[in-house]
């Protein structure tokens, strides 16, 4: 095989993400008790490397998190909220 073709093929393979996918999960955050709580929960989630977006619904006591599953595992999300003082769980298991 021509060396330049090999190089082009190698570069094409290396430029493909390693089967990463954006995923969205819902976290139940029952401990939110005031209007400021969602701010803290959102800040804790968005500080996790790999979280793309976090939206928090105070009335439903839930957080909706979109993340890159190649950079962060779903298990890290409840850990982040718990460390901020708001234990949470993945709705439906998230696995």
Q: pLDDT tens digit string along 38-74? A: 999 999 999 999 999 999 999 999 999 999 999 999 9
Residue 12 lies in a domain: no
Structure-token pair, residue 51: 């979280």
Number of domains in the chain: 1
Half-sphere exposure of 39 (CA within 13 A, CB side): 3
| Host domain of residue 60 | 19-93
Q: Could you tell me if 81 and 89 are in contact, meaning their C-beta atoms sit under 8 angstroms apart?
A: no
Domain with 88 in it: what CATH number? 3.30.70.100
Residue 14 lies in a domain: no
Structure-token pair, residue 77: 């999300």
Give the global pTM. Answer: 0.76
SS3 91: helix
Spatial distance between the Cα atoms of 10 and 13, rounded to a whole number of angstroms: 5
Indicate the pLDDT class of residue 92, thresholds 50, 70 and 90.
Answer: confident
Residue 27 lies in a domain: yes
Residue 81 lies in a domain: yes
């Amino acid at each position: 095989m021509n060396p330049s073709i090999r190089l082009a093929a190698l570069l094409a393979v290396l430029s493909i993400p390693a089967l990463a996918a954006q995923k969205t999960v819902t976290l139940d955050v029952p401990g939110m008790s005031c209007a400021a709580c969602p701010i803290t929960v959102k800040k804790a989630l968005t500080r996790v490397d790999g979280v793309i977006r976090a939206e928090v619904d105070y009335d439903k006591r839930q957080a909706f998190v979109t993340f890159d599953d190649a950079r962060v595992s779903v298990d890290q999300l409840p850990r982040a909220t718990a460390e901020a003082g708001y234990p949470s769980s993945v709705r439906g298991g998230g696995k």
